[in-house]
Amino acid sequence: MIKALRTPEENFKNLYNFPFEPLFLDDLKGFEGLRIHYIDEGPKNSNMVFLCLHGQPTWSYLYRKMIPIFISAGYRAVAPDFFGFGRSDKPVDDEIYTFDFHRNFLIEFIERLDLKNIALVCQDWGGILGLTLPMDMPKRFTHLILMNTILSTGEGVPSPGFKAFRDWVKKTPDMDVGRLMIRGAPILTTEEVAAYNAPFPDVKYKGGIRRFPQLVPTTYDAPGAEISRKAHDWFQKEWTGESFMAVGMQDPVLGPSVMRKLKRMIPRCPTPLRIKEAGHFVQEWGDIVAQKALEHFKLI
């Protein structure tokens, strides 16, 4: 049994601009006893589901501006919180958090909800993990919406911006999540910053956000690197779906240069939507991104 903490529900009362019903599962195969939180909005019989995957150090709150656009167009939107994040349980042993731990959770979650005709909406770790899934579930995925992310194959040299961030996180076990969010999205209000801080009452709850930067496969034999290389090859040879890309141009870690490389990996990936004022957290401009993506896919 994995020992985990659960953020008190009162921390999530009166969240600004987040009217969605919280849903939970605590019996996913391989994760029995750990409770996962997710949002599931829109018609369950929709012919498409937008699977929205967050990254570091956020949670499904990050998609509060995109989900309404998707569901108002008649589609289903699902947004889980990774273990260690948001309303999901938070294992207290930092070593529990591995690339495979998070990836296996996503596989079990998708199969449990039997999601089909998936548009993968991803940024940061949402893509690092999420982009490894379509090759193993090719009949489930049809579209991609890519924002400031990467498929980390362990090849090449990590950017100075990423190395600096990873080192900072390693030295800062009780990092101030709200301050980090403001650096990446200065447009955030006090209420929104409070919502990003809500999952983490103190340092004991922050194992997931401490570990994510250390888990990025930056060497050839790092955990997750091989499967990411396989995914890279699969996309170039096998992907037949549609894609849309939005880039926060002010991101020093996963910004324009990284996204140009990702664009080359995805067949027929169109010219990206460039959001000049956006940084790493592109979803803070998510209403624009979601609307443009739906228009591009001719879904409205």
Which domains does the chain carry? 4-296 (3.40.50.1820)
Amino acid (1-letter code) at residue 271: T
Residue 157 has pLDDT above 80, yes or no: no
Tell me which residue has tokens 């890309």: 245
Averaged pLDDT, 141-165: 91
| Burial class, 44, CB count within 10 angstroms (exposed 0-12 / middle 13-18 / buried 19+) | exposed
* Residues catalogued as catalytic: 124, 251, 280
Cα–Cα distance, 270 to 166 (Å, whole number) = 31
Averaged pLDDT, 163-176: 92
The fraction of the chain above a pLDDT of 90, given in percent, is 95
Cα–Cα distance, 270 to 286 (Å, whole number) = 18
Averaged pLDDT, 203-207: 98
| pLDDT band (50, 70, 90) for residue 162 | confident
| Burial class, 221, CB count within 10 angstroms (exposed 0-12 / middle 13-18 / buried 19+) | exposed
